[in-house]
Amino acid sequence: MNTASAGVSSSSVRGEERGTGDRVPRPNDCSIAFDHVDVEFDGRRIIDDLTLQIASGEFVCIVGPSGSGKTTALRLLAGLIKPSRGTILFRGCPLVESSRDIAVVFQDYSKALLPWRTAAQNISLALEARSIPARERKPVIADLLLKVGLQDHAGKYPAEMSGGMQQRLQIARCLAQKPSVLLMDEPFGALDAMTRQSLQDEILSIVRTSGAAVFFVTHDLEEAIYLGDRIIGLRSNPGRIGTSFAVNLPKPRDQLLTREQPEFLKLRRELFDFIKKAENERDK
């Protein structure tokens, strides 16, 4: 659906955008967007005039100091909270409630899983919501468990799994939704380094083939550079866009080669400097 009439300004997205060949989505190819959004709690402004467009197939990473509104912004896109002013747009229309086409991977994986369902049954829940016949669910569940490295744990309940395994299960269930928008709130924080890198590559592959738009919150600057097509840096008090970086690294990304690229190291330095400055501003 065309969002041109929604009044979402791409110039508000750019902030202090770096790099050549920057790509800010045109209004008519946006999957989800913030249109001049403010959020206030108890008279305190948490997010100020946030305007941001995310296109189908685009991977946007969100970084910023604590208190910059990263998770609040994600919850807005999920339809879990409403803006005090402005509009969240999904496929060009105001988002008024949660949608099955928008999947969320929460930080708190323990509250996202159903404890009375096994790993396979938790994934099945998303397939049931899509009205997938029972006979067709088994191969899909097996494939998703394999993708997140849980193929030997299909019959386990969440309480029998480690925190990292539960988080991988939550990711698998979200992928079972086949969402057009994937919201991820520091999803790999509970994982060991090798599993984290494996899932980073798996998510990139899935996004490449599915065309989902991704809003990915992280504190890990290297992770943001490795995954992102664009990185948005938020400032605090109130949360607002402070900078935007286009990531022009070659694709497909490689865990060793990509991280050794001069552009990767340059972006890491620029992001580090931005976060340091934003933290100093917050603490004044």
Q: DSSP string spanning 5-23?
A: GGT--THHHHTT-BSSS--
How many separate helices (H) and strands (E) can be counted in the chain?
8, 10
Residue 150: pLDDT above 50? Answer: yes
Residue with tokens 């955008």: 17
- The pair of three-digit structure tokens given for residue 112, joined into one six-digit string: 């996202």
Residue 176 pLDDT: 94
Look at residue 110 in the predicted model and tell me its pLDDT.
76
Q: How far apart are CA 203 and CA 59, in angstroms?
A: 10
- What tens digit of pLDDT does each residue of 60-77 get? 999 999 989 999 999 999
Q: Residue 118 corresponds to which amino acid?
A: T
> pLDDT band for position 109 (50/70/90)?
confident
Distance CA 178, CA 253 (A): 23
* Cα atoms in the 13 Å half-sphere on the side-chain side of 136: 8
* Residue 10 binned pLDDT confidence (cut-offs 50, 70, 90): very low
Query: What are the pLDDT digits (tens) for 216-259?
Result: 999 999 999 999 999 999 999 999 999 999 999 999 999 999 99
Q: Alpha-carbon distance 118 to 156, whole Å? A: 5
Position 57, amino acid = G
Give the pair of three-digit tokens for residue 60. Answer: 């946007």
DSSP state of 239: B
Q: Could you give the domains of the chain?
A: 4-101+180-283 (3.40.50.300), 108-178 (no CATH)
Alpha helices in the chain (DSSP H): 11-14, 70-77, 119-129, 134-147, 163-176, 193-210, 221-227, 262-283
- The residues, ordered by sequence, that sit 6+ positions from 278 with a Cβ below 8 Å of its Cβ are 64, 65, 68, 233, 234, 235, 236, 242
Q: Per-residue pLDDT for 152 more than 50?
A: yes
pLDDT band at 30 (very low <50, low <70, confident <90, very high): low
